[in-house]
A and B are shown apart, each in its own frame.
Chain A
Amino acid sequence: MARAAVPGRLGDRLRWRIAEVAGRRVESATAVTLTLEIPDWPGHLAGQHVDVRLTAEDGYSTQRSYSIASASNGRSLDLTVQRTSGGEVSPYLVDELVPGDQLELRGPVGGWFVWRQQQTEPVLLVAGGSGLVPLMCMIRTREAAGSRTPFRLLYAVRSPSDLLYGSELRQGAPGLDTTYLYSREALKDSARPPGRITPEDLARGGWPPDFEPTCYVCGPTAFVEKTAAYLVLLGHAPERVRTERFG
């Protein structure tokens, strides 16, 4: 039933709500996780996002989308924001916000780039940089649900110091395989030289197309574009490749 498909959308149009920053955690030199408290948060699906709106004193307002990082069973809401230097919104969210501050937010929204516990096919997650955020939500949701669906994560990131959720990923989970693809600077003992994602990376760290996995690809637009094209070249059906371009 469509009503049940998206928690929080019980046939109502969405309105902007006020969220209060309850916590702030540094993830890397350029990213923080903000824990938000929102009265009557209806819950969300893994992969959904919210729109955040900032309004200046002169009335000028602007909005951006941010994926939800926390597991879908939780009552609180975590967003992980990566600073885009020179950006209008992200430097403010990363550097200026402190607990107690308020934000305007609309969501959760999006019914396509989502993973549901009822899905039993294997899952391939391919993240570029902060594109890990909604995929981490899927990983956390899978674990919170005690799901045994096999997940593989390919995480493309500049260098080990840019990793998001590093210790949580290192700790791992049964049935989750993680491969790191460093683009600029790899660990000393790593077999793969630093470089951009290749079809070989996807063939080695992903699933054979015969297994009919659902592939979720998220990150900067150019990264998603290339990765999705490779997956289709490798034989994955275009409709099994779901994408979320961050811009």
Chain B
Amino acid sequence: MTSVEPGGSEVNDTDAGYVDGNALAGPLSEVFAVDVTTATSRCANCGCTGPLARLRVYKHAPGLVARCQQCGSVMLRATRTRDAVWLDMSGAVSLAIPVGET
């Protein structure tokens, strides 16, 4: 879900080199014990909220870059090194992770 929303996309439409945030599920499963692609994130640039599954994910060796589906700004970067996963989430102001009721 990208250019279908009002506000459109800033990322060139001919650039089809991306997939949905769903594809983050595997890489992030190395870090989190629950599925975080259904977690709601808020973009630090435009303020829109939505599940991580709807971000646009670009492969940038050696990691992944996830951009806001509304404004295209970078919300999350995940980079795998030999013994660590680096998560840069400075583009997201919050992340609400569903964990069920207590």
Contact = CB atoms under 8 A, between A and B. Distances in A.
Interface of A: 1-3, 5-6, 9, 11-14, 49-51, 63, 65, 106-107, 109-113, 220-222, 225, 228-229, 231-233, 238, 241-247
Contacts of B4: 228-229, 231-233, 238, 241
A65 B34 contact: no
B84 interface: no
Contact of A9 (B17, B18, B30, B35): B35
Contacts of B27: 51
Contacts of A228: 1-2, 4
Interface of B: 1-5, 13, 16-23, 25-27, 29-35, 37-38, 51, 53-54, 98-101
A245 B27 CA distance: 17
B100 A51 contact: no
B35 A110 contact: yes
B29 A5 contact: no
Nearest to A2: B100
A69 B34 CA distance: 23
Given A5-B35, A113-B22, A221-B17, 9 more contacts: A12-B33, A14-B30, A110-B22, A112-B54, A220-B16, A225-B2, A243-B1, A243-B54, A244-B19
B53 A113 contact: yes
Contacts of A5: 35, 100
A154 B21 CA distance: 24
Contacts, number: 104
Contacts of B38: 111-112
A109 B3 contact: no
4 residue pairs, one from A and one from B, having the closest CB atoms: A112-B53, A109-B25, A111-B35, A1-B100
Contacts of A3: 34, 100
Given A1-B100, A65-B23, A225 B3 contact: yes
A45 to B, nearest CB: 10
Contacts of A241: 1, 4
B53 A110 contact: yes
A247 B71 CA distance: 20
A232 B99 CA distance: 31
Contacts of B2: 225, 228
A3 B98 CA distance: 10
Contacts of B20: 113, 243-245
